Structure 1
Amino acid sequence: MWVVVQLNGEPLAFPATLIKEVVPWLPLNPVPSHAVGVKGLISLRGETLAVMDVLEMNGAGVVEDPSFMLVLDFPESRVGLAVDKVEGVQYFNVDDMDTNMAGGYILGTISRDERLYQLINATALEQLMAQFTDVATLDGMD
């Protein structure tokens, strides 16, 4: 099961087990650092989360007008991720995945209904985020 979202019109699929929740976009508190890809901080049910822009971290632009935030529940951290749109849940068979375009945080792609879905590698995404900021150092800021 995969949660499909859009980043600048491109469909990305996250493993459903990685998504703790999806929340409407909320105003963010500024970050007292210039960490690439960190859009700001938010307090969500008493927990402070860094909200990230994976496009900016990857040098692929920025999410201009996010509508939703995915709360990603990694083994070592929990972060928010800015997304344009949440399409819903789909079932993809990873045996059908094309790994020719795999790399970075992309596990591979699946073509369905004339659309190319990029499947996210959760471990690689967490490692990418850790390269740009130590999320743990942001946790204590309210």
Structure 2
Amino acid sequence: MSTTEMWVVVQLNGEPLAFPATLIKEVVPWQPLSPVPSHAVGVMGLISLRGETLAVIDVLQMQGNEGIAEPSFMLVLDFPESRVGMAVDKVEGVHYFNIEEMDTNMAGGYVQGTVTREDRLYQLVNSVALEQMMAQFTDVATLANGSY
């Protein structure tokens, strides 16, 4: 029996990255951010979205890479313990991937594996690993609550 799951595919500096659809609360157009008086790696700033203050992250910077040059959208990621915004270049839409086709040879960090479709390599995000990586660099909840 195959396990097909729904994923939201975005681009980070042109590379496709797929998030479990259950992790995405919403996708919003990029908006100006309020600066954060913090040296937290990968935290771009804060945003107030419908009365909720969210820290906005650049996951590429958290990994020590060059950050996103010009984000167009923000994913609102709904983790069990926190909610955070994440800068992305582009939102491609919803794709369905068969988990049994996932190659785990390139897994690492927050990527649980890859799926190749039509000569394109999609990196599938492990939401637990992503949340743990963010926690290593900053307490997102503390930033969002204003107690830095």
The normalised TM-score by structure 1 is: 0.98
- Cα deviation, 1:33-67, whole Å, max 9, x if unaligned, reads 01000000000000000000000001122011000
Q: Match of 1:32, as an amino acid?
A: P
For 1:92, what is the secondary structure of its paired residue? strand
Q: Secondary structure at the match of 1:59?
A: coil
2:47 to 38, 42, 59: 42
Q: What are structure 1's unaligned runs of at least 5 residues?
A: none
Unaligned 5+ runs, structure 2? 1-5
1:123 is paired with a residue whose SS is helix
Residue 86 of structure 1: aligned partner: 91
- Quote how far apart the aligned CAs of 1:139 are: 2.0
TM-score by length of 2: 0.94
Q: Indicate which of 14, 31, 38 corresponds to 1:26.
A: 31
State the distance in 2 between where 1:139 and 1:28 align: 12
Distance 1:60 1:110 in 2: 23
RMSD: 1.0
**Residue 74 of structure 1 corresponds to which residue in structure 2?**
79
- Following TM superposition, the consecutive aligned residue runs of length 4 or more in structure 1 with deviations greater than 2 angstroms are none
Partner of 1:136: 141
1:53 match: 58
CA distance in 1, matches of 2:75, 2:102: 24
SS in 2 for 1:69: strand
- Asked whether 1:123 is paired with 2:128, we answer yes
Partner of 2:112: 107
Counterpart of 1:94 in structure 2: which amino acid?
I
- 1:130 Cα deviation from its structure 2 partner: 0.6
1:15 aligns with 2:8: no
Count of aligned pairs between the two proteins: 142
